[in-house]
Amino acid sequence: MNTRPALNISAVERDTGLGKDTLRVWERRYGFPQPTRDNHGERVYPAEQVDRLRLMKRLIDHGYRPGRLFAASEDEFSSLCHACAAKSVAEPGSGDEVVRHAIRLIKANDLPILRQALNQAMMRLGLQGFIIDIVAPLNQAVGEAWMSGEFQIFEEHLYTEQMKSLLRQAIGSLPPSVVGPRILLTTVPEEQHLLGLLMVEALLVLDGATCISLGTQTPLFDIQMAAVAHRADIVAVSFSAAFPARQVAPQVSQLRQLLPSEVDLWVGGTGAQRLAPQPGVVVLANLRGALEALEVWRGCGHGDQSSPPELDGR
Amino acid sequence: MNTRPALNISAVERDTGLGKDTLRVWERRYGFPQPTRDNHGERVYPAEQVDRLRLMKRLIDHGYRPGRLFAASEDEFSSLCHACAAKSVAEPGSGDEVVRHAIRLIKANDLPILRQALNQAMMRLGLQGFIIDIVAPLNQAVGEAWMSGEFQIFEEHLYTEQMKSLLRQAIGSLPPSVVGPRILLTTVPEEQHLLGLLMVEALLVLDGATCISLGTQTPLFDIQMAAVAHRADIVAVSFSAAFPARQVAPQVSQLRQLLPSEVDLWVGGTGAQRLAPQPGVVVLANLRGALEALEVWRGCGHGDQSSPPELDGR
DNA sequence: GTTCCTTTTTGTCCTGGACAATTTGACCAT
DNA sequence: ATGGTCAAATTGTCCAGGACAAAAAGGAAC
């Protein structure tokens, strides 16, 4: 077995999602990470430190603060990883069995069977049930498995890729609507997670909406232009947990300001939950929230944008 | 019409792909960009400058050097944009007509018809012909349309998203192979362009290979682990033109070193063309190159990795 | 418990210097 | 002309260490 390569600072930035400045300032302030230096005096991060940084990034995304993590002992740290993983297993839904099975299949690297099992579940539950009761918990479970060290990164990648493929397939096979609202889906620059958006798209198309997906990372001004060009009734953007928390609110405000006032703005995803309510912005608490919002939109008569009804999913 | 928002330095980094350090050093050395400053003395880039930076980035990706671009007059600059666009229209293939039609449909924002036209073309030409004679030139044409200012960014996004969707759909509907080589497909971190990879995947699956796609941005060490876990015969990675040129060679070498020697390594995409030949690394000159490489692999008897035959596509 | 205010924490930006890797261009030999 | 070698210019990335605003935490008064 090869010994793992050490990385320079920009490679660590890519791999962990922590900026160069942050890496340097952590080193200065907390003494970690503590990279060695190469001939030119440049930082070289051993693989173990990069692993640790990846974990810290994810814990921070889940709401822990750096000070807490740096203060923690080794034992406490790893218990935090597990605690974080466990905390959100609230409702042992009916899909639990399927989810556990899928996890086992991913770990066994058995792609064909995994694909088959997911397809089967989809057929049995219908697309909506599949997404809400299987895909969402499964995403969570995969994230947790990674965090507690049971999954490699590539297994997470593989799962994500499979699921994206499956969802696109499903969306493609649905009949295109001509009556429902026209919904433009995308993410802002810096946010490259597509899976959540695809899940919402599937649900919305299933409910008769016309979805126009721009994929990830559309500049705000282009979202505006696209909304106008495609005569969208609603613009929906999603923020993952990994999105820099401080940037969510400004991005949303700016987008809201850019869009014509008769266009609704829906914001969903883990990263959107920290968002304070704003006039003219609907925060979707979860997947069902999207369906409720669609219902509300239809009820209210289209084009009523001034103070849309509060949708509090709790 | 709203006036477009100005961006701070990290937003510009995201939007243009030029690093913060590069932006600052260009300002220092060449006097462009010349952002204004906000109350705190931080750089604020007007939208026009960001547009210009985006163009420059793309021209640089196409081989021009910054010094050349900064020295150019306004007229010369825009003529470079067009020249760069025109230079690669070499073979007026049979798909030319379809490509032009598709471009018009994208510009007209007519999604349903576009989708239908592409589907039709695929049916008529077959998947292989479609990818080689339509998708590849169309990608090029879309890039050119953007560069000469005829397309907005969101139109490029929309096209890419549609095409990805279509290709996945096609791949999903192909019968899974059980005999061909097992090929692991992905990109290295920092490379987030998936479309080329999907095109290759479609061609390879069509030719009877078993493809395992990890999506984009897999850390090198995870590519290694995935290759082992999935008993891959071949690992294929792609580099777009936008990938930092200086990093291609080191990444490939490192990956080659990480992988077991009996696993072939294929490298494709525009960004791979600048790559000097290395032992144990097959550079794919174009899409057909992938098919040729597959043929060679089958001919040579699997597992022959020591000095694979040169595949020079010219 | 809630509201308001102060302190600490934390990420990002700044300047200006340095340097290695690549490319260019000049010069020379075939 | 063609090819090869070496010096000079170009260019992206790294570093140090200072600064500061936004967010979170902690406390105090209600």
Last residue of a domain, one of B34, B58, B90: B90
Among B71, B90, B109, the domain-final residue is B90
Please check whether residue A177 lies inside any domain of the structure.
Answer: no
Quick one: which of B220, B40, B13, B192 has its CA closest to A21? B13
Same domain membership, residue B74 and residue B43: yes
- The neighbour count for residue B34, using CB atoms within 10 Å, is 12
Its sign, for the CA torsion A262, A268, A273, A275, is: negative
pLDDT for the residue B304: 42
Helix (H) or strand (E) holding B278: none
Using the predicted structure, report yes or no on whether residue B3 has a pLDDT greater than 50: yes
pLDDT for position A303: 45
Q: Which residues contact A257 (CB under 8 A, 6 or more apart)?
A: B2
* B83 and B144 assigned to the same domain: no
Which amino acid residue lies closest to nucleotide D24, measuring CA to C1'? A65
Q: Give the distance from CA A11 to its chain's centroid.
A: 22
User: Residue B231: what pLDDT?
Assistant: 95
Residue of B nearest to A220 (CA): B5
The least confident of A195-209, B1-15, B39-53 is B1-15
Query: Domain tally for chain A?
Result: 3
At residue B305 the predicted structure's pLDDT band, cuts being 50, 70 and 90, is: very low
Question: Both A202 and A105 in a single domain?
Answer: no
Contact criterion met (CB below 8 Å) for A272 and A313:
no
Domain contains B252: yes
Q: Write out the E strands in B165-272.
A: 182-186, 210-213, 234-238, 264-268
Residue B162 has pLDDT above 70, yes or no: yes
Q: Which of residues 119-138 of A touch B (CB under 8 A)?
A: none
* pLDDT category of residue A78 using cuts at 50, 70 and 90: confident
Does the pLDDT of residue A43 top 50, yes or no? yes
- What's the pLDDT tens digit per position in A86-132? 555 555 566 688 999 999 999 999 999 999 999 999 999 999 999 99
A136: pLDDT confidence band, cut at 50, 70 and 90? very high
Strand D nucleotides within a 7 Å radius of protein CB atoms: 10-25
Q: How high is the pLDDT of residue B232? A: 96
Instruction: List chain A residues with CB under 8 Å of B164.
Output: 168, 215
Assign B303 a pLDDT band (cuts: 50, 70, 90).
very low
Q: How far is CA B81 from CA A119, A297, B89, in A?
A: 47, 44, 14
> Which residues in chain B have their CB less than 8 angstroms from residue A112's CB?
176
Higher pLDDT, A299 or B1: A299
Task: Report CB contact under 8 Å: A153, B218.
Answer: yes
Apex B58 CA angle, B46 and A19, nearest 5: 65
Whether residue A239 is contained in a domain is answered as: yes
For chains A and B, count residue pairs whose Cβ atoms are closer than 8 Å: 113
Is the CB of residue A2 less than 8 Å away from at least one CB of chain B? yes
Q: Are A134 and A99 in contact (CB under 8 A)?
A: yes
**What phi, psi does A134 have (nearest 5°)?**
-110, -60
| A207 plus A288 within the same structural domain | yes
Read off the pLDDT of residues B267-278 as tens digits, 9 standing for 90 and up.
999 999 878 778
| pLDDT surpassing 50 at residue B44 | yes
CATH number of the domain residue A202 falls in: 3.40.50.280
What's the CA gap between B253 and B74, in Å, rounded?
Answer: 40
Q: How confident is the model at residue B301 (pLDDT cuts 50, 70, 90)?
A: low
Residues B189, B280, single domain; the answer is yes
pLDDT band at A84 (very low <50, low <70, confident <90, very high): low
**Per residue in A209-224, pLDDT tens?**
999 999 999 999 999 9
Query: What pLDDT sits at residue A9?
Result: 96
Choose among A112, A153, A165: nearest Cβ to B176.
A112
> Could you tell me the pLDDT band of residue A144, with boundaries at 50, 70 and 90?
confident
A239-297 pLDDT, tens digit each: 999 998 888 888 898 899 899 999 999 999 988 887 877 888 999 989 999 999 999 99
- Band of residue A311 on the pLDDT scale cut at 50, 70, 90: very low
* B186 inside domain: yes
Whether residues A102 and A81 fall in one domain: no
Compute the average pLDDT of residues B121-134: 95
**Of A277 and B311, which is predicted with more confidence?**
A277
Does one domain contain both B214 and B275? yes
Place of tokens 């694979």: B308
Say if residue B306's pLDDT is above 50.
Answer: no
Any domain includes B309: no
Structural domain for B280, as ranges: 182-302
Amino acid letter for position A253: S
Answer for B29: CB within 7 Å of strand C: no
- Does strand C come within 7 Å of the CB of B9? yes
What percent of chain A shows pLDDT beyond 90?
69
Do both B249 and B288 map to the same domain? yes
Which of A154, A186, A198, A225 to mutate against chain B (most B CBs within 10 Å)? A154
Higher confidence at residue B306 or residue B14? Answer: B14
Measure the CA–CA gap between B60 and B23, rounded to whole angstroms: 14
B90: pLDDT confidence band, cut at 50, 70 and 90? Answer: low
Q: pLDDT band for B314, please (50, 70, 90 cuts).
A: very low
Query: What CATH code is carried by the domain that includes residue B68?
Result: 1.10.1660.10
pLDDT score of B169 more than 80: yes
Q: Tell me which of B128, B151, B172 is where a domain ends.
A: B172
Q: Which residue has the higher pLDDT, B307 or A7?
A: A7
pLDDT at A312: 43
Residues near strand D (C-beta below 7 A) are: A 8-10, 20-21, 24-25, 28, 41-43, 65, 245-246, 249, 274; B 19, 21-22, 25-26, 29, 40, 60, 65-68, 70, 244, 246
- Given a contact cutoff of 8 angstroms between Cβ atoms, the answer to whether B37 and B51 are in contact is no
A-contacting residues of B 221-280, CB under 8 Å? 221-226, 229-230, 254, 257-258
Nearest C-alpha neighbor of A32 from the set A45, A13, A42: A45
* Dist. CA A219–CA B244, nearest whole Å: 21
* Residues B211/B201, Cβ–Cβ less than 8 Å: yes
Pick from A241-250, B70-79, B192-201 the range whose average pLDDT is largest: B192-201
CATH code of residue B155: 1.10.1240.10
Which residue of B151, B154, B184 to mutate against A (max A Cβ within 10 Å)?
B154
Statement: the CB of B296 is under 7 Å from strand C: no
In chain A, residues with a C-beta closer than 8 Å to the C-beta of B212 are: 111, 158
Same domain, yes or no: A240 and A269: yes
Lowest-pLDDT range of A14-18, A32-36, A242-246, B227-231: A242-246
* Domain identity same for B17 and B81: yes
For residues B55 and B24, membership in a common domain is answered with: yes
Interval B216-258: pLDDT, tens? 999 999 999 999 999 999 999 999 999 988 888 889 988 999 9
CB B161 within 8 A of CB A213: yes
Q: Does a structural domain hold residue A307? A: no
d(CA A283, CA A277): 7
What is the nearest CA distance from B45 to chain A, expressed in angstroms? 14
**A312 occurs within a structural domain:** no
Domain identity same for B40 and B53? yes
Q: What is the residue-averaged pLDDT of chain B?
A: 89
CA distance, residue A190 to nearest chain B CA (Å): 6
CB A229 within 8 A of CB A263: no
Across the range A82-89, mean pLDDT stands at 62
| pTM reported for the whole predicted model | 0.90
Q: Does A190 fall in a domain? A: yes
How confident is the model at residue B72, as a pLDDT? 87
